[in-house]
Structure formats: structure tokens, C-alpha cells
């Protein structure tokens, strides 16, 4: 990550898809590094990257294990002891978790990408994995990956929402970037998402179809762990292009969005857990009019099939 600007509390909250109060709580518990300019709290981009990296390892800021259930440590959690854990990085999951807590279900969040979410579900470390992984062989989302990454595990896939994926480019699109083929140009520099992120998989699958090696694309190895961060990198001129969702493009100045793919964002659940109180309560929430209405004015979410069972594998 670059260090071109200081980040505000709101910007960090947006990057992590949490509320500002959660960020202040992380500061209070010394879980994320910050500094002050006068009375204002500020962060460097590496502070946020370090927090995400430590969280993936289940470590706190001082590198000791955290026992606080509100500390959303990731892959080190034992789901049977630490509560109900939902994997994924979208705002919709934060709102879902809040609804579940209102129903007295201690829902926790693990902010990891689709591929790692499915691996965590396979290892029985989480209760629900979210996924938006496109398979170029079948032109399907999620089902082929669930079959491959959870062998021998009966699962149920429940639809959550559809989103538009595409390209973030500078305002006015000065380099005329319009398709995946433009990643093969010598004058294009990109910034990438981390391994396992749905946007990264979409890019890699699309480049594979074109016969373009990722390693040949300038900036391919430079990674960031949120849609907002890569969009901001394009906005600041650090990169010419990045892959991400339409919703985030509306939140960042000085960029345009090139829509390329309608994706399915689904929840994956072990079939043996499907009739549990927690899962059934979660399904009742996401099928409710009140929950769908939360997204009526946000934009970027198609909730028409929310809660429908996509497949049983």
C-alpha cells in the first residue's frame, strides 16, 4: 500500500466495512495503530494493512491472542465456542450480523475473501461463508467452487444479492480502458486484490480466457484488501485500473466505473447445520421485508431473490 495520504476514521471504517464506533473500539483496545493531528484521529494505509494481516492470523496489535468476543479475529476462531461466525467483506453482512445480534444471536464477522471463506467452512471454523467466485468453464458463480473446495461436505447455497463487477478507471477514462483485453497493454498499470478475493478470481479467469498471464501485467503483484482501497489507488493516480464493485465506485471521487459482469453473491452453509436455530433465524431475517428495505436507498444491491436456495450439493 502507498502512504500518499492520511486516512480518517470514516475512511478506515469504509475500508473494513464496519461502523466508526467499531474503529474507535479497536483504537481503545490497541488493536489498530493510529495517531492524532490536533484532535483528529488519523491512520496510515499500512496501519490498516497491518490490522488486516494480524486479524487473519487471529492476533491483536501487540501480537497476543485476544479473548474479547467483539474482536473479530478471523481464522483462529473455534465456531463452537466463540459464537456464530459469518465470513465475508460486504456491508450487507455487517447489517445482517447487527440484525442477528438484535435477535440475541452473538453473530461475529470474519473479514476474509470468498476463497478463504469456503476453506474456513470446509475446516468447520465458521458457520456461514459468503462467495462470489466466477468459474469460466461453466459461466457459473459459486456452485463449482463449493463442489471443489468442500469435497464430501453436503452444503446448501442461499442467494443473498446480485452486484455489478467491473473496472475502476480515472475520471474521463483517459487511457480508454474498456475490456479485460486492455490489461495486456504495455501502458496500463493495475492494482490487484488479494488472492482468493472474488474480484481477483474474476480477473484471473478473464485473463486466462484471453491467454494473458497475470505476471505480465504491470502492477499485478501489488495487492490491496478492499474495493475501496483499490478504487482510491486509481483515484490518486497510483494505478490506471482496478477490479471492483459498482457500489464502491459511487463512494470515491475522480473515478469512473466500467461495468463488465453481473455477479451472484451467495451464502454457503453446511447442510448438517441448516436446521439449526441460528441458521433459520438468519434466513428469516434476510427474507424479511425489513431487511431488504435496508438496501432500498443504498444502491448497488439487487435483493429480488434474496434468501432463495440456489443449490443443495
Same domain for 54 and 83, yes or no, is no
- Is residue 69 domain-resident? no
- Is residue 71 domain-resident? no
- Is residue 67 domain-resident? no
Contacts for 76-84 with beta carbons within 8 Å, 24 or more apart? 77/108, 77/110, 77/125, 77/126, 78/125, 79/124, 79/125, 79/126, 79/127, 82/108, 83/107, 83/108, 84/108, 84/127, 84/128, 84/278
Same domain for 209 and 280, yes or no, is yes
Q: What pTM did the predictor assign?
A: 0.71
Q: What percentage of the chain has pLDDT greater than the value 90?
A: 54
pLDDT digits (tens, 9 = 90+) for 86-137: 999 888 898 899 899 888 888 888 888 899 999 999 999 999 999 999 999 9
Same domain for 214 and 264, yes or no, is yes
Which set of grid coordinates corresponds to residue 250?
Answer: 459511487
How distant, in Å, are the alpha carbons of 1, 33, 60, 278, 282 from that of 49?
Answer: 8, 10, 13, 32, 31
Report the CATH number that the domain containing residue 3 is assigned in CATH.
Answer: 1.10.1660.10
When mean pLDDT is compared across 52-56, 78-82, 245-249, 307-311, the lowest value belongs to 78-82
Angle at 186 between CA 185 and CA 191, to 5 degrees: 80
Same domain for 196 and 305, yes or no, is yes
pLDDT digits (tens, 9 = 90+) for 168-202: 999 999 999 999 999 999 999 999 999 989 999 99
pLDDT digits (tens, 9 = 90+) for 271-282: 999 999 999 999
Res. 27 pLDDT band, cuts 50 70 90 = confident
Q: In this predicted structure, what is the pLDDT of residue 56? A: 54
In eight-state DSSP terms, residue 194 is P
Of 62, 87, 111, which closes a domain?
Answer: 62
- Shortest CA distance to 1 belongs to which of 308, 229, 300, 291? 229
**Number of compact structural domains in the chain:** 2
Range of the domain at 42: 1-62
- Is residue 207 domain-resident? yes
Of 11, 27, 62, which closes a domain?
Answer: 62
Amino acid at each position: 500500500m502507498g502512504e500518499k495520504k492520511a486516512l480518517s476514521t470514516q475512511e478506515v471504517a469504509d475500508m473494513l466495512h464496519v461502523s466508526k464506533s467499531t474503529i474507535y473500539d479497536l483504537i481503545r483496545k490497541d488493536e489498530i495503530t493510529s495517531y492524532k493531528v490536533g484532535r483528529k484521529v488519523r491512520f496510515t494505509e499500512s496501519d490498516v494493512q497491518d490490522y488486516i494481516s494480524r486479524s487473519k492470523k487471529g492476533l491483536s496489535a501487540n501480537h497476543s491472542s485476544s479473548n474479547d468476543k467483539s474482536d473479530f479475529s478471523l481464522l483462529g476462531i473455534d465456531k463452537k465456542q466463540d459464537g456464530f461466525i459469518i465470513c465475508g467483506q460486504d456491508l450487507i453482512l455487517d447489517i445482517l450480523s447487527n440484525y442477528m445480534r438484535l435477535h440475541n444471536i452473538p453473530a461475529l464477522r470474519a473479514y476474509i475473501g470468498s476463497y478463504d471463506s469456503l476453506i474456513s467452512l470446509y475446516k468447520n471454523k465458521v458457520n456461514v461463508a459468503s462467495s462470489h467466485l466466477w468459474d469460466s468453464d461453466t459461466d457459473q458463480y459459486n456452485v463449482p467452487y463449493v463442489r471443489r473446495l468442500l469435497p464430501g461436505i453436503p452444503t446448501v447455497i442461499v442467494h443473498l444479492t446480485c452486484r455489478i463487477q467491473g473496472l475502476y478507471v480515472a475520471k474521463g477514462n483517459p487511457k480508454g480502458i474498456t475490456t479485460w483485453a486492455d490489461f495486456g497493454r504495455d501502458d496500463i498499470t493495475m492494482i490487484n486484490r488479494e488472492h482468493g478475493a472474488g474480484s481477483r478470481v474474476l480477473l484471473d479467469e478473464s485473463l486466462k480466457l484471453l491467454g494473458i498471464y497475470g505476471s505480465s501485467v504491470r502492477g499485478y503483484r501489488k495487492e490491496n484488501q478492499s474495493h475501496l482501497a483499490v478504487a482510491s489507488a486509481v483515484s490518486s493516480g497510483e494505478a490506471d485500473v482496478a477490479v471492483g464493485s459498482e457500489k464502491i465506485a459511487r463512494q470515491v471521487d475522480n473515478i469512473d466505473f466500467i461495468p463488465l459482469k453481473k455477479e451472484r453473491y451467495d451464502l454457503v452453509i453446511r447442510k448438517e447445520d441448516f436446521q439449526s436455530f441460528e441458521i433459520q433465524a438468519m434466513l428469516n431475517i434476510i427474507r424479511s421485508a425489513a431487511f431488504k428495505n435496508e438496501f432500498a436507498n443504498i444502491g448497488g444491491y439487487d435483493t429480488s431473490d434474496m434468501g432463495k436456495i440456489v443449490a443443495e450439493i
